[in-house]
Structure 1
Amino acid sequence: MEKLSLKYFLAFFLFSVFVSILVLYKLFPIRYYDIVVRKTQGIDPLLVMALMKVESGFCEDAVSPAGAVGLMQLMPSTFSWLKERFKLEGDIHRVEDNITFGLLYLSYLLNLYNGDLEKALAAYYVGPSRVGELEREAAAYVKKVMNYYRVYKILYFWLRWGG
């Protein structure tokens, strides 16, 4: 009788682990991954997945109370500035353009802060000129993105095998 109970316990335990992993994959999807891989500016695509999850929850037509738009939650003024600075065309509401310009902006911020990812993420959230004055809000945001990034790296470790 004891062996039967142990078998049921192990079966239940394995089933629970399997369901938990499936739930994590559902909570941390890799939507738009193919676009991100094509458009990346040397930035880990899984970091971009974490950023999109935090910024918009992968909602293409998300608009924040402050007016940030799309998957990458770009402010229209930032989008216009990027268009002018890099001599590019695009539509902030078009998924591929929103991702492209979001990656361009993050790459710009990484260069601005000499590769310091946390400073670049803080600037992505509050703007480069406001990082110091909104340090607490930026720190909470950076922590959330970095925690999600860790989850993405664990869940999708196998994506790195091909490259």
Structure 2
Amino acid sequence: MTHSTRQGRRRSPTPDELRAWRGYIETARALDARLTSRLQKESGLSTGDYTVLLALSEADGRRLRSSELADAVGWERSRLSHHLRRMEDRGLVRREECAVDYRGAWVVLTDDGAHAFRSASVPHLRAVRELFVEALDPDQLDQVAALTAALRDRLDASR
């Protein structure tokens, strides 16, 4: 009995499944690369900057605890800390001590950061529309939403 037989139903993806997987991955990477390039060129922000600024702009009082921000953007805390230091140097965010818990800090969106985010959002959302939304009809957009929700549910369930 082979190892895979003992494991039960575990099997490799079929050629058609692999074709779908590669198509998804290669397209997602190409789309991400194009959006990243345009965001950087049109606004001077990286996708990491934009992701952090988006999370802070949506937060109450334009502030989050650093642990909450790490969870919101899906990054390890060490990666976030290094990125925040670079963003602080550019005046996009600032860190403030938390009066309730001295181990934690607030990450606060500055006025300059809010302005940079708003300025970047117009061309970025235009690029999202051009490269993603306009490539699909309404039914396909609904299918993409359903597919990504199913994938997200599987990822969340496997934590």
> Would the TM-score normalized by the shorter structure come out above 0.5?
no
TM-score (normalizing by structure 2):
0.29
Q: Which has the higher strand share?
A: 2
